[in-house]
Amino acid sequence: MKIRHFKVTPFSIPFVEPLQTSGMTYSHREGVWIQMKWDNFTGVGEASPLPGFSTETLKEVHYALEGFHQAINGEDLDSEELFLLIEIHSQNTPSVRFALETAIYDILAKEEELPLAKYLNTNAKSEIAVNGLAGMHQPGEGFTVMKVKVGFRNLFDEIENMENLTKSFGEDIQFRLDCNGAFDLPKAIRFCKEMEKFNIDYIEQPLPADNLEDLAELTYHTEIQIAVDESLTDFQSAEKIIDEQAAHVFVIKPMVSGGFTECKKIIMLARTENIRTVITSSLETAIGRTACLHLALTNEITEACGLATGELLNEGKPTQPIHGGKIAISGGYGLGIDL
């Protein structure tokens, strides 16, 4: 493959409303889209590290992409050599690895006239269940799982919020409580005890990312399953979480974990340990979200995934439609979406 065109397009897109977590407030989503051309095929990808979650900066993303571009410029390389160069030039920039892998797989799948997920796994389905977001999605939209941001209200308001949500959505809907590391161990234990009366699927990152010992301790104090998000950044962190027996669920962000190759390794490891795996977006634009969707389908994820985030961004173009709590890939080849 001789990549004859390599373009990096920066973007800054506002959120419809400022987005609040326990530690951050986001007004815009920033990153870059990349575009590669080979023969008559174009591949696209997105590198958008998320402040507060990702380890790299946008400046480092630009440096890494420039290094990769110089390495491939004018060279005739097979796909194996391209993926080796991606690994070399994205050692400390997982979002770059995700973007470049997406773009190359986009090209290769188009060449084979297949959707990207089907190119990587002939058994891949074409749609996946997703969780809704409390405050954005409404009862009756078909979601069986709802995600609720917690950890920034007082405990009594948290209980009242869950009572209202349960009344609104019904007893059968499961809730995922996303804490973004808001608690210490005593507060987490008390919070979980109060939440056990509700239909909770899991509680996500109740303690700070590096506090695996206390996360493991928490598992002995609650019936609610513990999920890790910020603690899980790559394969090595996954191994550490397993060694500490600190989680029942892995919430994997491809933009943080480094894309298709690294995520597959984490998913395979989790399966050997009977740990549930959920793929979730890092609030990417449509390019990144679609790549996350294909990655989830490629790895035959059966959990409801966190990919229904398109309505949070003011992108000015349609997002993947959600029907009955599910998102499907388009009928097109490759990623099925272009810049």
* CA 321, chain centre distance (Å): 18
Summarize pLDDT for 177-191 with one digit per residue, the tens.
999 888 999 999 999
According to CATH, the topology of domain 5-114 is Enolase-like; domain 1 (3.30.390)
- How far apart are alpha carbons 177 and 164 in whole angstroms? 15
pLDDT > 90 fraction of the chain, expressed in percent and rounded: 81
pLDDT at 222: 95
Q: How many other CB atoms are there within 10 angstroms of residue 51's CB atom?
A: 10
Is 0.75 surpassed by the pTM of this model?
yes
Across 118-125, average pLDDT: 96
Asked if residue 22 has pLDDT above 60, the reply is: no
Distance of alpha carbon 143 from the chain centroid: 18
What is the average pLDDT value for the chain, to the nearest integer? Answer: 93
Q: Where are the domains of the chain?
A: 5-114, 127-328
Please provide residue 116's backbone torsions phi and psi, each rounded to the nearest 5 degrees. Answer: -55, -45
CATH of 127-328, one of 3.40.50.2300, 3.10.129.10, 3.30.310.10, 3.20.20.120: 3.20.20.120
Banded pLDDT at 79 (limits 50, 70, 90): confident
Closest CA to 32 of 306, 294, 318, 285: 285
Q: What pLDDT, in 10s, does the model give residues 154-180? A: 899 989 999 999 999 999 999 999 998
Count of Cβ atoms closer than 10 Å to residue 339 Cβ: 14
**pLDDT at site 317:** 62
Dump strand ranges (E) for 145-225. Answer: 145-149, 174-178, 200-204
pLDDT band at 23 (very low <50, low <70, confident <90, very high): low
CA 41 – CA 101 distance, rounded (Å): 15
Stretch 84-94: mean pLDDT, rounded? Answer: 95
pLDDT number for residue 141: 93
What is the mean pLDDT of the segment spanning 251-263? 95
pLDDT, tens digit, 9 for 90 and up, residues 284-319: 999 999 999 999 999 999 999 999 998 889 887 656
What pLDDT does residue 302 have? 95
